[in-house]
Structure 1
Amino acid sequence: MALPTLLDIEASGFGRGSYPIEIGIARADGSCCAFLIQPLEEWTHWDAKAELLHGISRARLEREGYPLRHVARWLNDELHEIGIAYSDSWGYDNTWLSLLFHHAGMLPAFRLEALRRLLNEEQMAMWSDVKESTIDRGNIRRHRAGDDARLLQLTYARTLELTASND
């Protein structure tokens, strides 16, 4: 079964002034990859509660993060052929992705769509329970972009299996 490519973004916080700090994807073959993003000097918003969730400090981003153009180029290289990736938090992720590409001076070579567009009513109804059981069964580190993208992909695959077995 070919899986959809999932994209997840961790951020400095939520709302006005927030920015992407890590972008990860889970590829159709199930492999995943993520990059920390070096914040621009003018990106000053930092939410300590968000840091508690993802465990990434601003100092670490400044030390280990990749420049925006590098991350934008990587995303385009990864996603231009398939042309689409899916997100469970489209409103936030699309905003942060647009911010990344704008400041990188590039255009995305793919589009980001809401994951719910792939789900039927039965899948949506079971999503939360299946996601929680996937977390419990797997060794998934939450609130890191690559692992969260993979969690979404595994949850999608499991809901697809369960709905197929109900037919």
Structure 2
Amino acid sequence: MSCPALIDFEASCLPEYGQSYPIEVAVARIDGSNRAWLIKPAETWRYWDWSDEAEALHGISQQMLDDEGLPPAQVLAEMAEFVGNCTVYADADLDQYWLEVLCQAIGTKPPFPVHYLGEFLKDHGFSRPQVVAALDEAKRLLPKEHLAREDAKRLAMVVKLLVDGEVG
């Protein structure tokens, strides 16, 4: 089983600190496959806010985005292809917001909705102790944080551990 898929974005800053835009996105499926993209800033974002504190957390500089980032349209197309028919979940509603910002930059609608991971966990009847145990195990195995690929992979691992019944 490859679905569901988990998505995570990194951004130029948190919205409460200014007008932020997505700089990295990753999607991980519970079969272990994953993709991550650095996003070259859209021209409309050029004068939006950048936070040195956010850069210190995720380690992505504006220069990296200019040098290695892919155009928003390419990121969106590749991401939609990778997601396929999987339902997409995130652990924060900000991920839906940044998907919308990415789409607005190229004048399109999101190719899929981003659902809150808590809905999946509740719908499948997982208890709080089960979720905490799965999260602890995933954090032990994938301890890096504030990197979209690692965060998405960790969330996918949490779901897989729960679905496979590998945590009590």
* TM-score, scaled to structure 2: 0.84
Q: Percent identity?
A: 32
- Shift in Å, 1:144: 1.4
Q: Distance in 1 between matches of 2:132 and 2:10?
A: 20
Q: Distance in 2 between matches of 1:108 and 1:122?
A: 29
Structure 1 pair 139/86, CA: closer, same or farther in 2 (3 Å)? closer
1:14 is aligned with what amino acid? L
Q: Runs ≥4 in structure 1, deviation > 6 angstroms?
A: none
**1:127–1:159 Cα contact (<8 Å) kept:** yes
The residue aligned with 1:82 is 85
| 3-state SS, counterpart of residue 17 of structure 1 | coil
The residue aligned with 2:14 is 14
- Residue 25 in structure 1 maps to residue 27 in structure 2: yes
2:72 is aligned with what amino acid? L
- Shift in Å, 1:78: 2.1
TM-superposition CA deviations, 1:9-64 (whole Å, max 9, x none): 01111114011000100024211110000113442311111111111111111111
1:24 is aligned with what amino acid? A
Structure 1 pair 49/126, CA: closer, same or farther in 2 (3 Å)? farther
Structure 1 pair 22/123, CA: closer, same or farther in 2 (3 Å)? farther
Q: How does 1:135-150 map to 2 (within 5 A)?
A: 135-136=139-140, 138-150=141-153
Structure 1 pair 118/76, CA: closer, same or farther in 2 (3 Å)? same
**2:8–2:27 Cα contact (<8 Å) kept:** yes
- Shift in Å, 1:126: 4.2
List gaps (5 residues or longer) in structure 2: none
**More deviation, 102-111/154-163:** 154-163
Q: Distance in 1 between matches of 2:32 and 2:128?
A: 21
* TM-score, scaled to structure 1: 0.84
- The match for 1:48 among 47, 52, 58 is 52
- How large is the RMSD of aligned CA atoms in angstroms? 2.1
| 3-state SS, counterpart of residue 25 of structure 1 | strand
Q: Distance in 2 between matches of 1:145 and 1:72?
A: 15
2:154 is aligned with what amino acid? L
Structure 1 pair 65/123, CA: closer, same or farther in 2 (3 Å)? farther
- The match for 2:67 among 50, 59, 63 is 63
- The match for 2:119 among 117, 120, 124 is 117
Aligned pair count reads 161
Structure 1 pair 159/2, CA: closer, same or farther in 2 (3 Å)? same
